[in-house]
Structure 1
Amino acid sequence: MALRLYRSHRAALVDYAKGITGSRAHAEDVVQEAWFHLDRKGDDPAIREPIAYLYRIVRNLAVDSIRRLLRERTRCGVDIEEAARLVPDESPSAEATIIARDDVRLVFETLEDLPERQRIAIEMYRFGGFKLRQIAERLNVSIALVHLLIAQGLEACDRRRNEE
C-alpha cells in the first residue's frame, strides 16, 4: 500500500517540498527520505490518513533540512552550496585525456614489439599484480632476469613515448 501511495502522489509531494526548500533536487531528497520513513512504518494501524501523514512527513523533513542548512550557514559563515560550486573541478582536461590515451596506445604498441617473455613479464607485473618470484616461476627463469626483463621493457616503453 505504501508504495502505491508514494507512486501516485510523488510528483505532488516533490512540488510541495520544493515550495518549502526552494530547490527541486533538495525536494526530491526530502520526498525520498519521507518514503523510507513511511515504508519503515509499514501498515501501522495508527496511521488513519496515510496521505496526510505522508505530507506531514515531507513538511517536517523539508523544514528540518532548511533549519539545518541555516545552522550550517550561521556556524560556517558560508553558504555551503555556494562553497561547493567554488571548488575547482579536478577532472582532467580534454587535452590531458587525449595525451594519456595516446601514451597508453604507444605503450601497448611497444609491448607488442617486445620479445614474448619480456612482454609476459611486464604484463604479469604491471597488469596482473604478480610478484617477481611468481613471474620467475611461471617463466622458469631467475628473479634477477625477471627484474632485468621488466626494467628494460619499461625503458623501451618510456623511450617510445618520449620519441613521439
Structure 2
Amino acid sequence: MADPSTQLEVFLGVRRELVSYASTITGDRAQAEDIVQEAWIRFTPAAAVEQPVAYLYRIVRNLALDLKRSRSREQARQATAPAWLQPGLGADPADNCQHSMLLDRLNTALQALPEASRQALEMHRFGGCTLAQIAERLGVSLSTAHRLLRDALARLAEEVEEPDVGGGSHEA
C-alpha cells in the first residue's frame, strides 16, 4: 500500500481510535494527539505494509510507551535532584519584593562590617574555611577569628530580624 491517498484514508479512518488508544497509555489526551500525528509522519513513508491498521497501532503504542518511559525517567531525575535544582513555582510578587529588599539590607550590612569581620564571614560561609584557617589567613588568634565571625553573623542576624524600614506604621 504505497498509494498516499489510500494511506490517508486508512489513517483518517482509525485516527479517532488511535487517539483513544494512545490516551489510555499516556493518560493525557493532548499528548495522545501529538503521538498520533507523529505516527502519521512515520507511517507515510512506509512502502508496502500488509496490515496498515495494525502497523499504525504498533507505531502509536511504541511512541506512547517511549513517552511514558521518558516521563518516568524525568520524574525520577527530579525526585533525586536537590531542592534548589527543582523547578520552582511562580513566586508571589510581594514575596519577591520583600526578598529583594532583605537582600539589599543584608548587602548594605555586609559592606558596613569591619574589613576583618567581613573577610572572616566570607571565608567561613563562602570559602568553607575553618576557624583555624581564618585565623591563619588573617594573622589573628583562634579566639579573635571566632569573635570576628560571631560579630559578623550577629550583625547580619539583627538585620534580618529588623522590620522593613519605611514599611511600618505612620505616627500622627
TM-score (norm 2): 0.48
Amino acid at match of 1:136: A
| 5+ residue gaps, structure 2 | 1-10, 40-47, 69-87, 165-172
Matches within 5 A, 1:57-68: 57-60=59-62, 62=64
Aligned-pair CA distance for 1:96: 2.4
Which has the larger share of helix? 1
Amino acid at match of 1:142: S
Which of structures 1 and 2 has the bigger CA Rg? 2
Number of residues paired by the alignment?
114
Identity %: 33
| 5+ residue gaps, structure 1 | 1-11, 35-47, 67-88
Distance 2:36 2:131 in 1: 54
**Aligned counterpart, 1:108:** 107
Query: Is the 1:136–1:142 contact (alpha carbons within 8 Å) kept by the matching residues of 2?
Result: yes
Distance 2:107 2:145 in 1: 19
Matches within 5 A, 1:5-154: 18=19, 20=21, 21=23, 23-25=29-31, 56-60=58-62, 62=64, 92-154=91-153
Per the alignment, do residues 159 and 24 of structure 1 end up closer, same or farther by CA in structure 2, a change over 3 Å counting?
A: same
Q: Deviations over 1:93-133 (max 9, x none)?
A: 33223222221211111111111111111111122222212
Per the alignment, do residues 114 and 30 of structure 1 end up closer, same or farther by CA in structure 2, a change over 3 Å counting?
A: farther
Per the alignment, do residues 31 and 134 of structure 1 end up closer, same or farther by CA in structure 2, a change over 3 Å counting?
A: farther
Amino acid at match of 1:157: L
Per the alignment, do residues 27 and 120 of structure 1 end up closer, same or farther by CA in structure 2, a change over 3 Å counting?
A: farther
Amino acid at match of 1:24: A
Aligned-pair CA distance for 1:23: 2.1
Secondary structure of the structure 2 residue equivalent to 1:141: coil
Per the alignment, do residues 31 and 121 of structure 1 end up closer, same or farther by CA in structure 2, a change over 3 Å counting?
A: farther
**Aligned counterpart, 1:82:** none
TM-score (norm 1): 0.50
Per the alignment, do residues 128 and 65 of structure 1 end up closer, same or farther by CA in structure 2, a change over 3 Å counting?
A: closer
Aligned-pair CA distance for 1:92: 4.6
Query: Is the 2:106–2:156 contact (alpha carbons within 8 Å) kept by the matching residues of 1?
Result: yes
Pairwise CA RMSD of aligned residues? Answer: 4.1
Per the alignment, do residues 57 and 29 of structure 1 end up closer, same or farther by CA in structure 2, a change over 3 Å counting?
A: closer
